[in-house]
Every structure is written in structure tokens, then in C-alpha cells.
Amino acid sequence: MEVILEEMLQEGLGSIRVRYLGDKQMLLTNQDGVLLSEVIEASKESLYKIFDTLKPWGESSVVENKVVWTRCKGLPLSLWTLDYF
């Protein structure tokens, strides 16, 4: 994520906010007062140096894999199996 943010700054794309969604997906959003579609259109060449694909977020957009950490206090080691998690 840090590398992507650094590359965005080097390409002059600091007005775009990048959020990690999980797997290999990022959500690009606008900063206040910036029309994201115009920035993306004007910067497609730079963005494709950083990202493989760009597509608008929609209702059918899903993140396939997401890593989640959960704290389970007092769970016996015998229950630390894939069946339980």
C-alpha cells in the first residue's frame, strides 16, 4: 500500500484517496472538491502504470478475499482448527 501511495504522489495523483479493500483491490475516491472522473480521465496513462485495471464501483462489485483478524480469548487450543474457524 505504501508503494502505491508513493507512486501516486510521484505521478501527481495526490488528490486521489486510495483505500485497500482486500485481495488485490483498491478503492479510489476523491478528495473534497475534486471530481474523480475528470482526474481519472486526464490521468489514465499514469494510473495504468500503477494499476492493472480500472473499473467503476457498482452494486455488483465484490471483494473476493479479505483478511480479518479476530481475537478469541479463552479458546482452547483443541478448537484451533479450520472446522471451527
Instruction: List the pLDDT tens digit at each of the 85 positions of the chain.
Output: 889 999 999 998 888 989 888 778 888 988 777 788 888 899 999 999 999 999 888 888 877 777 777 888 888 888 888 887 6
Neighbouring C-beta atoms of residue 39, cutoff 10 Å: 18
CB atoms within 10 A of CB 13: 19
Indicate if the alpha-carbon torsion angle 74, 76, 77, 81 is positive or negative. negative
Alpha carbon of 17 to those of 36, 39, 72, 74: distances in Å? 10, 12, 33, 39
Q: Is the pTM of this model over 0.85?
A: no
